[in-house]
Structure 1
């Protein structure tokens, strides 16, 4: 007779201090990790219950995969995917790496919500080339009010120069003594725009992929900004 022993590791912290912790109503054995205190099963019937599935879904969300594409590939229901998207975005905290920056580039990209042109949304965001991080962003129409909301988020930082294109809303809000205008000053953020369109199909210029809810739309971009700044989720 051959006896096979299986080592059960925690799927969350990958620890080996795992003990049995009762039986579920389905009759499956439940385990408890002594290291992180989380409970789990060795195998789950539903894909949405697997810890590995959540990590895969989050990686696909920042790699230009649509909600329904993720559902087809992973087997996780799209409502569960949207729930993970919003929950993870709410947990993301952005902190500038520095308190002073030599220059910050500001630009805008447009997109739609609910496939309607009257629901066109503009994303204004500030990018620091010296640290390769997105410092702040603001959603709205293409007016000085949206730019002003973005500028309020940057007032606590010491910024020597703001670099933008010649859109009039920038000159109405930004301090003129710190404002440099011209495409020559925004070449770094133009590259970021290309990267964002590659990572999120919602802001591709010609696309049929739109969010039905603004909250899902905004959180998808927030997740990509966080991933770009910190390279983790």
Structure 2
């Protein structure tokens, strides 16, 4: 006896055929239309929630598909849509004008192949731990400018940024808002530690990984997805 998959009622009648010729049914109790043994699997909200958590761990998409029992094709479509809609601006707590001391650093990555290098520019507030600026792009002045443009206005106006000696910073950050320092000073240790966290948690950034991004849009989306989670977890 066929039962409704939604309300489990057996008050069922035949309801024509679907596109592939399978017999359709209608539940007269709740109105649900369905077929027996559907070939298209319906992914539950609980499964999507698990996938969302796994996307923030160092697990490739193929591994996630195997772990939760979904097809790689469905998972790729799900991830593509999620990353496309991720906000590309850091969500940070409101700051009053005053002394702000962020640290900047860069993280090398690649998209599609190891010859296509993409630099991840990051700025982290030393006091709150928040990632306040992100730009993903070229290694030159345009990349540094993208990082500065991504900052909330209060950081552009009041912060004194500590960076390494990359020349691109000098050409973009005003001298009164910039301090170039060596690693031995410890003035950029917080952002360097975050870079390590990012590599450990986002599989496409792991050195010598086979899970590298095929599309720049997904590369950017995956990084932003983790950063939003990281900032939110700071409380």
Q: Same fold (TM over 0.5)?
A: yes
Equivalent-residue separation in structure 1 for 2:217 and 2:208 (angstroms)? 22
Counterpart CA distance in 2 for 1:168 and 1:141 is 14
- Given candidates 105, 108, 112, the residue that maps to 1:107 is 105
Note the 1:115-134 alignment, pairs <5 A: 115-117=113-115, 119-134=116-131
- Name the TM-score, length of structure 1 as normaliser: 0.76
Conservation of the 8 A alpha-carbon contact between 2:103 and 2:188: yes
SS at match of 2:30: strand
Distance (Å, rounded) in 1 between the aligned partners of 2:232 and 2:152: 23
Q: Distance in 2 between matches of 1:88 and 1:124?
A: 22
The verdict on how the C-alpha distance between 1:189 and 1:137 changes in structure 2, with shifts beyond 3 A counting, is same
What is the rounded CA distance, in whole Å, between the counterparts of 2:36 and 2:204 in structure 1?
Answer: 43
Question: Match for residue 81 of structure 2?
Answer: 87
2:179 maps to what in 1?
Answer: 180
| Greater Cα shift, 149-158 or 210-219 | 149-158
- Measure the CA separation in 2 of the matches of 1:196 and 1:79: 26
1:128-143 correspondence runs (5 A): 128-143=125-140
Give the root-mean-square deviation of aligned CA atoms.
Answer: 2.6
Tell me the alpha carbon deviations over residues 170-211 of structure 1, each in whole angstroms, 9 at most, x when there is no partner: 111111112112222100001101100110122223322211
Alignment correspondent of 1:41:
none
Shift of 1:143: 0.5
Aligned residue in 1 for 2:43: 49
Using a 3 Å threshold, how does the CA distance of structure 1 residues 91 and 202 change in structure 2: closer, same or farther? closer
Structure 2 residue 192 is the aligned partner of structure 1 residue 190? yes
Q: Measure the CA separation in 1 of the matches of 2:226 and 2:48.
A: 16
Q: For structure 1, list consecutive stretches of 5 or more residues without a partner in the other structure.
A: 1-6, 9-19, 29-43
Corresponding position: 1:65 with 2:59: yes
| Contact 1:134–1:225 (Cα < 8 Å) also in 2 | yes
Q: How many pairs align?
A: 199
Q: How much has 1:47 moved relative to structure 2?
A: 5.8
- Stretches of structure 2 lacking an aligned partner (at least 5 in a row): 1-6, 9-28
Offset, 1:77: 1.9
Shift >4 Å, 4+ stretches: 44-48
Distance 1:137 1:53 in 2: 30
Counterpart of 2:226? 224
Q: C-alpha displacement at 1:155, in angstroms?
A: 5.9
Q: Does structure 1 conserve the Cα–Cα contact (< 8 Å) formed by 2:120 and 2:136?
A: yes
2-side partners of 1:47 and 1:128: how far apart?
A: 45
Quick one: distance in 1 between partners of 2:45 and 2:39?
Answer: 12
Alignment of 1:30-41 (within 5 A): none
Structure 1 pair 107–48 and aligned structure 2 pair: CA distance change class (3 A)? farther
1:167 partnered with 2:161? no
- Look up the match of 2:145: 148
User: Which of the pair has more CA radius of gyration?
Assistant: 2
Q: Distance in 2 between matches of 1:228 and 1:82?
A: 23
